[in-house]
Amino acid sequence: MSTSRSLAVLTILLASGVVACAQPDEPPRAHWTDVTDSTEVRLIRESESLCEDCITLERVLVMGDTIGDGYLREAMHMVRDSAGNYWFGQYEAVKVFDAAGEYVGEVGRAGEGPLEWDYAMPVHTDAAGRVHVFDLGNYRYSVVGPDFTLVEEERLLDHVHDVHALGDGERWVLNMWHPTPDAIGSPLHVWEGGEIVRSFGDFVDPANPRADTDAWRIFTTDAAHRTFSAEQYGSYEIEVWNEAGRRITGFLEPEFNDPPHDPEAPLSADNPPASTIRALRVDSEDRLWVLSWQLRDDWLDMMEERRGPDGRITLEMKPGLAIMDRIDGQIDVIDLTAATVIARARMEGVVLVDFLGEDALWAGEYAGAGHLRVGIWEIDFTP
């Protein structure tokens, strides 16, 4: 749901008195898992007892050489297998590091044949220790064994933006723009046995030239096979869908970007860059963990005015600074029953990328221009 639609829904709810301060004699609200209302939006608020020291993070490992075979070009897709090895998608190959962070080897090469990749994206490791890789360029799904051999492969129907498993890898939720008559306008698709068996998610207007990009989602699945989905840019609205593709409920943090960012207008104090959600995770207690990139309060101090070729004055990063310098990583833990943030951790200058199971996350680090390294951070949470 777009921000404008979110605000419209919120306005209707306020006008009708659905969203209001709870009165002492107001009946308790239905537990969110019992709701099957396709339009409900619950406002996320900070708990009165919000804990900002309950989450502690410790960096325990750094991987990626600045030169040589262990060099990382990018690190947006990575999984850890049952032996503790880390598998990084690197376009035409998958690089593997062991549990101590030492480079082990490379799986695949550039091409279109078996174990040849165009854009390798490892997304899941199953109970047998096999790694499931989606190749965005070759439209192919492959399963690779612990010995780096090909176990099986299937063709994909279209370009996949992101993937999460339902269970142990027999079924998947794919995020992709697949404008066919039975799936048109749906960003999320349940894929099983090489076929789309169900499509769902917010409607994306196929007549919109940006429909492909607008269909991108940050999402995750949980043990109950529910899908938690948020738009990739600028919105802190999380919608929950059941296994049948029916919307259960939604959660909205209305002040996430205030004032909202207008991508068509130049950056200014009144039009700041947008904060954005980067990853979601549901823990064993049905708490939702949200990893986001938050715009720093002092971001304007990092900018300077420059005149473009068309004569227009724009704000650009000062020399020596990168866009990520104006962002802090943040983790929120949300009690979904009360729709409240119960714990929060802010990591200044750390480019958080994704969660890594129940007890860790990983972050991008730079050892100079073009030299990417990856840090593994252990999470301890004591509510």
**pLDDT per position as a tens digit, 286-336:** 999 999 999 999 999 999 998 888 888 889 999 988 888 899 999 999 999
**Tokens coding 48:** 């009165």
Per-residue pLDDT, 99:
95
User: Is there a cis peptide before residue 319, judged by omega within 30 degrees of 0?
Assistant: no
- pLDDT higher than threshold 90 for residue 362: yes
**pLDDT per position as a tens digit, 222-255:** 999 999 999 988 789 999 999 999 999 999 999 9
pLDDT band at 35 (very low <50, low <70, confident <90, very high): confident
Closest CA to 105 of 142, 150, 62, 68: 68
pTM above 0.85, yes or no: yes
Per-residue pLDDT, 232:
86
**pLDDT per position as a tens digit, 71-85:** 988 877 899 999 999
Q: What is the mean pLDDT of residues 268-278?
A: 92
Exposed/middle/buried for 301, CB within 10 Å: 0-12, 13-18, 19+? exposed
Per-residue pLDDT, 207:
87
**pLDDT per position as a tens digit, 191-209:** 998 899 999 998 888 888 8
pLDDT mean across residues, the chain: 87
Q: Which residue has the higher pLDDT, 12 or 303?
A: 303
Rounded CA-CA distance 6/254 in Å is 9
Per-residue pLDDT, 5:
39
Q: What is the mean pLDDT of residues 17-45?
A: 71
**pLDDT per position as a tens digit, 350-359:** 888 999 988 9
Domain borders along the chain are 3-18+29-73+157-381
- Which of 55-64, 94-103, 206-215, 367-376 is predicted with the least confidence, judged by mean pLDDT? 367-376
What percent of the chain has a predicted confidence (pLDDT) above 90? 62
- pLDDT higher than threshold 50 for residue 282: yes
List C-alpha distances in Å: 24 to 27, 43, 335: 8, 19, 21
Do strands 131-135 and 120-125 pair parallel, antiparallel, or not at all (unpaired)?
A: antiparallel
- pLDDT higher than threshold 50 for residue 70: yes
